[in-house]
Amino acid sequence: MSNVPRAAAMTLEDGQEVPIRWKGYQLMSRPMLNRGTAFTHAERRALGLTGLLPTGYSSMEMQVQRVYKQYSEQPDDLSKNVFLTAMRDRNEVLFYRLLADHIDEMLPIVYTPTIGLAIERYSDWYNKPRGVFLSIDRPDEVAESLSNYGLGADEVDLVVVTDSEGILGIGDQGVGGIAITTGKLSVYTAAAGVHPRRAVPVVLDVGTDNLKLLNDPLYLGERHARVRGERYDEFIEHFVETVVELFPNAMLHWEDFGTANAHRILSKYRDRCCTFNDDIQGTAAVVLGAAVAAARANNTRMSDQRVVVHGAGTAGVGIVTLMRDTMMMEGLTEAEANARFWCLGRGGLITTAQGEAEGILDYQRPFAREADEVARWGTGPNGRIGLDDVVRNVHPTILIGTSAQTGAFTESVVKEMASHVERPIIMPLSNPTSRAEARPVDLLEWTDGAALIATGSPFDPVVRGDITYEIAQANNALVFPGLGLGVAVCRATRVSDGMIAAAAEAVAETVDAARPGARLLPSVRELRAVSASVALAVCKAADAEGLARTPVVDPVQQVFQRMWRPAYGDIDFD
């Protein structure tokens, strides 16, 4: 089929012109250019679409109404995810308009938790590839594969990558992890206006230890056990070097790497390139935002808090580290700040007496309590210092759960905490809902409505007397989209702790938690405004630290202009 007979271009809101080089069915197979029944009759004539579409014309508003009705008729959440994926592959602008209009309803469908179901079925339901698939068995193809995505050095703001070892709560999912990166990028676009064609989703196929996948004849990934050790590290190094060379302005976002690798990789590369781990830094930022809002409601500062973290893994220690750094910004020394935390791992309270046999990892050691300090504390039947012991001796002001241990925050633990703190700050963050350390309705009952609560999963409001308690969800989507947008606006060379802290502060400033029943974090319905505020704060922090390559001269306008809006641009013909 020949090209369009006369020059045509689509003009986007930011003034950019996108050439249209196709006509007819070829044009409609391009998701970013296809607008289906919203092509006017004049455009259909000029673009070879006459007779290929129903006669009637639909505005975007009419299209949104139609596809939302189709979406609502899907029988379950997984079917809704499949419907939206197919829609994105057909008409990307309409997909993002629908998602933006119904972000609170659809975020759990395109992202966690429903995306986990789609990932598990990836090889069974494979349809249209989206993203870049890099195999550890073919390292020589990394540069070629990334180049084949079709974007140049100045055309990429984000590279989101996973090795699929720690996918949500379902673990190793092999090549199917590509879906978590495309889901993440959908949120970047819907929440912060990161242009969908300025981001690259990547899966590093290093094998899988999931025997179910390895024995599935339909599995589409490399059929061998997960590669570890020196060969794995060399592959990561080669990948990072190639990304930096091909896309020098991009932020490299690490997603759902296993605990053993996540901290190690971030530590190795965070001072070498612009890189970010959402499971560590994004989770930490949104939890810090909730903690700051709660502390203000209590007329205190972060440096006044005593924090107990039940579940000191990747996310838990990431939270502790950012809170510690914030306390240091408020004037504490590192030793003083470290002493404000009590972290529990698989072996109970982490102490200096424990070693590798108890599962203590290097990144946990800075927060280990001195063995002599806790020698007189009571221990359970296994000789470990448990959560009950810690709460009874510490009198924490903040209790955080990242343990995936259902009901770990028992009535006795919570009442003990509340007996020493007027308004305890309690955050059962484990996902999904079935893994939560406590339910908000119980926390409010056990504290007589005094608890300030943030959860990892969404919970309905709780009504007690004449007060309706809105339950904040510590959703990373409140932070990472705005962070990525801010980095893109100022072309930051690094993602610093100061930039992460600025993002958390920006989130905290959007709420007033002092009002009875008020949420500690904004609703996901406010994502676009929150993302803009986060981006603004990140830009200013990067500029203040000398990390911005683009001068931040008018940050509000720069952020606003960079936020892509899902609208059909004008089509011009010469």
pLDDT (0 to 100) of residue 2: 45
242 and 288 in one domain?
no
Handedness of CA 111, 434, 302, 471 (dihedral sign): positive
Are 432 and 277 a contacting pair, CB within 8 Å?
no
- pLDDT of residue 80 exceeding 90: yes
132 and 97 in one domain?
no
Tokens of 125: 């339901």
Handedness of CA 322, 323, 328, 333 (dihedral sign): negative
How many other CB atoms are there within 10 angstroms of residue 386's CB atom? Answer: 20
264 and 303 in one domain?
no
Instruction: Reply yes or no on whether 111 is catalytic.
Output: yes
Are 285 and 299 a contacting pair, CB within 8 Å?
no
**Catalytic one among 23, 80, 184, 540?**
184
**Catalytic one among 71, 111, 219, 568?**
111
Last residue of a domain, one of 273, 298, 318: 273
350 found inside a domain: yes
Last residue of a domain, one of 474, 508, 529: 474
Domain of 213, CATH number, reads 3.40.50.10380
Residue 13's pLDDT band (boundaries 50, 70, 90)? low
408 and 369 in one domain?
yes
Domain of 338, CATH number, reads 3.40.50.720
Amino acid letter, residue 515:
R
402 and 467 in one domain?
yes
Domain of 26, CATH number, reads 1.20.1370.30
Number of domains, the chain: 4
395 and 347 in one domain?
yes
pLDDT digits (tens, 9 = 90+) for 40-69: 999 999 899 999 999 999 999 999 999 999
Identify which has the larger pLDDT, 479 or 117: 479
407 and 378 in one domain?
yes
Are 256 and 280 a contacting pair, CB within 8 Å?
no
Are 392 and 416 a contacting pair, CB within 8 Å?
yes
331 found inside a domain: yes
Instruction: Reply yes or no on whether 184 is catalytic.
Output: yes
pLDDT digits (tens, 9 = 90+) for 330-386: 999 999 999 999 999 888 999 988 765 556 777 888 899 998 899 888 766 666 899
- pLDDT of residue 150 exceeding 90: yes
pLDDT (0 to 100) of residue 381: 61
Question: Minimal CA–CA distance to 298: which of 415, 445, 414, 450?
Answer: 450
247 and 220 in one domain?
yes
97 found inside a domain: yes
pLDDT (0 to 100) of residue 1: 40
Residue 196: give the domain boundaries: 108-273
- pLDDT of residue 320 exceeding 60: yes
- pLDDT of residue 449 exceeding 60: yes
Which residues, other chains included, contact 546 with Cβ-Cβ below 8 Å and sequence gap of 6+? none
Which residues, other chains included, contact 413 with Cβ-Cβ below 8 Å and sequence gap of 6+? 387, 388, 391, 399
What are the phi and psi torsion angles at 480 (to 5°)? -65, -35
Average pLDDT of the segment spanning 261-284: 94
570 found inside a domain: no
Please state, in angstroms and as integers, the Cα–Cα distance from residue 212 to each residue in 120, 127, 174, following that order: 10, 21, 11
pLDDT (0 to 100) of residue 357: 53
As a whole number of angstroms, the distance between CA 416 and CA 346 comes to: 22
Q: What is the pTM of this model?
A: 0.91
140 and 66 in one domain?
no
Last residue of a domain, one of 445, 474, 503: 474
Q: How far is CA 332 from the centre of its chain?
A: 30
What interhelical angle do 480-490 and 555-562 show, nearest 10? 110
pLDDT digits (tens, 9 = 90+) for 471-507: 999 999 999 999 999 999 999 999 999 999 999 999 9
The rounded mean pLDDT for the chain is: 93
As beta bridge partners, residue 364 has: none
pLDDT digits (tens, 9 = 90+) for 411-442: 999 999 999 999 999 999 998 788 899 999 99
Which residues, other chains included, contact 219 with Cβ-Cβ below 8 Å and sequence gap of 6+? 123, 174, 175, 213
Cβ burial of 122 (10 Å; 0-12, 13-18, 19+) is: buried
Tokens of 167: 């996918």
Helix/strand/coil for 459? coil
As beta bridge partners, residue 399 has: 308, 426
159 and 216 in one domain?
yes
- pLDDT of residue 19 exceeding 80: no
For 443, the enclosing helix (H) or strand (E) is helix 440-446
264 and 179 in one domain?
yes
3 found inside a domain: no
pLDDT (0 to 100) of residue 356: 54
92 found inside a domain: yes
- Parallel, antiparallel, or unpaired: how do β-strands 425-428 and 8-11 relate? unpaired
568 found inside a domain: no
1 found inside a domain: no
Amino acid letter, residue 216:
D
As a whole number of angstroms, the distance between CA 508 and CA 429 comes to: 17
379 and 268 in one domain?
no
Query: What percent of the chain has pLDDT above 90?
Result: 81
User: Quick one: how many helices (H) and strands (E) in the chain?
Assistant: 22, 17
Q: What is the DSSP letter of 463?
A: E
